[in-house]
Each structure stands twice: as structure tokens, then as C-alpha cells.
Amino acid sequence: MSDLISREDAIEALEKRKPLFTTLEFTQGVDIGLATAQKVLRELPAAERWIPVSSGDLPKTTDYVLCCTKTQKGSKSIVKGYYDPESKRWCCGMNSNVIAWMDMPPVYEEEEL
């Protein structure tokens, strides 16, 4: 069973928990509110969330992405790979199925003090 959840399923789950989220407060005293939680989920950048392959939302280019793969025995790994829209195949050098993907994160840059 997959532990991945779509953005819309998460938003729906929050709606069911409305009484909890309307009063939940963090240690800093911030009132989170249901609408705020749903807004954060809707605006979550693609680079920060896994996209299940089963959703049909596949990369449009052959740029590298992070791939979550799963072997027949159930082992999961994260590897760099790409999807070829023309051949409709994943290329990630692993003998396993790609079950989800996400955009590559930005390259680390040191901050100047």
C-alpha cells in the first residue's frame, strides 16, 4: 500500500478534521486555521512534493527528476532519472518501477553573511 497522498485528498482530509484545525495552536501562539492549512497545501511547489505516477501527471521534458522506485520485493529507493515522453519510458538505471517523481531541488548556494 502506498503512503503517498494527492494534494486534493490531503485538503479533503483537512476538511474532515475542521474542528481540530480551527483551534490548533503552535508553541509560538500562531493560530493555524483550516483555510491556512489548505492554502499551504494548494500552493506547495511541485519541487517539494512527490507526484504519484498513477496520477498520470508525468514530466513533459527529459529533464532530470527525482524518482521514487519500488522493487518487486517492495524495497523503495530514490534515484535521479528522467521520463521520455516520446517512448513513454522511465530512464533511471534501476531494475524497478518508478512509483512517484518530483522536480530536482535547486542546487545549494552558500549565503553570504
Q: 6: helix, coil or strand?
A: coil
Q: For 12-65, write each residue's pLDDT tens digit.
A: 766 665 555 444 444 334 445 556 666 666 665 555 689 999 999 999 999 999
Q: For 92-112, write each residue's pLDDT tens digit.
A: 876 669 999 999 888 888 888
> Domain coordinates of the chain in residue numbers?
1-44, 47-105
Cα angle 70, 83, 53 (rounded to 5 degrees) comes to 50
- The span from the first CA to the last CA of the chain, in angstroms, equals 46
Provide the whole-model pTM: 0.56
User: What is the reported pLDDT for 65?
Assistant: 93
Place of cell 512527490: 50
